[in-house]
C-alpha cells in the first residue's frame, strides 16, 4: 500500500517544480508504449497525419507549437511537451491554452543554469514556480543540470566534438529525442527532415515553424545554425545522429519518410 508521501520514482533527470516552495519534489514518472513525436517544422503541413498521431499511446510536442487550427496535420492530443527556456515566455503569454486546454500535459523545461538556478536568481525557474502556484494541478518539470551534462556527453560521443568548445547549443529536438528514447517503447516521428535533405538541389521552401508560415525557411535556418561560430544549434548534425539511432529499430521517421540509407549505420 502506498503512503501519502510522494514516492521518488521515475526518471531522475527530470524534477517536478514544487507547488508551494522553491524546492523540488519528485521525478518525472512517465512511461509509454508507442509515442508520436511531432516536430514544429513546416514539414508537417499537408501531411494529413493528425488522426494517425492521435491514435498513438502518447503524443510529444515541442515548445509552444499549437495544435488548434492544425489538427488535420498535427493532431489534437498532447501528453508531454519539451520546452526550451526561450519558449517559456510563450507559455506565460498563452496560459489559458497551455494550462487550461492542455491542463493534463506534462511540461519538461530545459535551459542553462543561469536561467534555471533555484536560489531566487533564475528568472525562468522563478516563472515556473509562479505557474506551479497558479495552476497547482499542472505537472511542470525541469531538466537537471546533471541531465543537461549527460546530453552534452551524448553529443560528444556521437560527434567527437565538445558541444561547448564548438560553440553549439543543443536543440529542443535533441532533448526531446533523448527523453522519448527513455520513456517510449517505440517512437514515430513526424515533421523531421533527414540530414541530407537541405543539400538536395530540389528541396522546396518549407517554413521553419508550421504555425509561422510566412517566416523563415527551414533549410536556410538550418545552414545558418550549422555554421555559426557561437550560439548555433547543430540541426543537421543532430539529424545525422538520429539516423544512427534509427538503425537500432526503436525510431521510425514516418512523415516525411527518410530514405533507407539514412537508417543505416555509418
Residue 108 is given by DSSP the state E
Is 70 exceeded by the pLDDT of residue 89?
yes
Taking the mean position of all CA atoms in its chain, how far away is CA 188?
Answer: 14
Is 50 exceeded by the pLDDT of residue 2?
no
Q: What percent of the chain has pLDDT over 90?
A: 58
Question: Residue 17 — φ and ψ, nearest 5°?
Answer: -75, 125
Highest mean pLDDT among 144-153, 166-175, 212-221, 241-250: 144-153
pLDDT at 1: 33
Do residues 9 and 27 lie in contact, with contact meaning Cβ atoms separated by under 8 Å? yes
Residue 145 is given by DSSP the state H
Question: Residue 27 — φ and ψ, nearest 5°?
Answer: -90, 160
Pairing of strands 168-169, 32-38: unpaired
Distance CA 124, CA 39 (A): 23
Q: What tens digit of pLDDT does each residue of 123-161 get?
A: 999 999 999 999 988 999 999 999 999 998 888 888 766
Listed residue (81, 71, 72) closest to 30, CA to CA? 81
11-194+207-256 topology per CATH: sialyltransferase cstii, chain A (3.90.1480)
Listed residue (168, 181, 138, 233) closest to 13, CA to CA? 181
Rg of the chain over CA atoms, in angstroms?
18
The pTM of the full predicted model, rounded to 2 decimals, is: 0.87
Q: State the pLDDT confidence band at 263, using cuts at 50, 70 and 90.
A: very low
Amino acid at each position: 500500500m502506498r503512503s501519502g508521501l510522494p514516492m521518488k520514482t521515475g526518471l531522475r533527470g527530470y524534477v517536478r517544480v514544487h507547488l508551494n516552495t522553491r524546492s523540488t519534489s519528485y521525478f518525472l514518472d512517465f512511461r509509454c508504449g508507442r509515442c508520436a513525436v511531432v516536430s514544429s517544422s513546416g514539414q508537417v503541413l499537408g501531411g494529413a497525419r493528425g488522426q494517425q498521431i492521435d491514435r498513438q499511446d502518447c503524443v510529444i510536442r515541442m515548445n509552444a507549437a499549437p495544435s488548434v487550427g492544425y489538427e488535420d496535420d498535427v493532431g489534437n492530443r498532447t501528453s508531454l511537451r519539451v520546452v526550451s527556456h526561450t519558449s517559456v515566455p510563450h507559455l506565460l503569454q498563452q496560459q489559458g491554452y497551455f494550462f487550461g486546454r492542455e491542463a493534463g500535459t506534462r511540461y519538461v523545461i530545459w535551459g542553462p543554469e543561469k536561467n534555471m538556478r533555484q536560489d531566487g536568481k533564475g528568472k525562468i525557474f522563478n516563472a515556473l514556480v509562479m505557474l506551479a502556484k497558479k495552476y497547482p494541478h499542472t505537472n511542470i518539470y525541469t531538466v537537471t543540470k546533471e541531465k543537461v551534462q549527460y546530453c552534452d556527453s551524448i553529443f560528444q560521443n556521437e560527434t567527437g566534438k565538445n558541444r561547448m568548445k564548438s560553440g553549439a547549443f543543443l536543440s529542443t529536438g535533441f532533448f526531446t529525442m533523448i527523453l522519448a528514447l527513455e520513456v517510449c517503447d517505440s517512437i514515430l516521428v513526424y515533421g523531421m527532415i533527414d540530414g541530407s535533405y537541405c543539400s538536395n538541389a530540389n528541396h522546396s521552401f518549407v517554413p521553419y515553424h508550421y504555425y509561422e508560415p510566412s517566416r523563415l525557411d527551414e533549410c536556410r535556418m538550418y545552414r545558418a545554425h550549422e555554421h555559426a561560430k557561437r550560439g548555433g544549434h547543430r540541426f543537421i548534425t543532430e539529424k545525422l545522429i538520429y539516423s544512427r539511432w534509427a538503425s537500432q529499430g526503436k525510431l521510425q521517421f514516418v512523415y516525411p519518410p527518410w530514405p533507407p540509407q539514412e537508417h543505416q549505420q555509418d
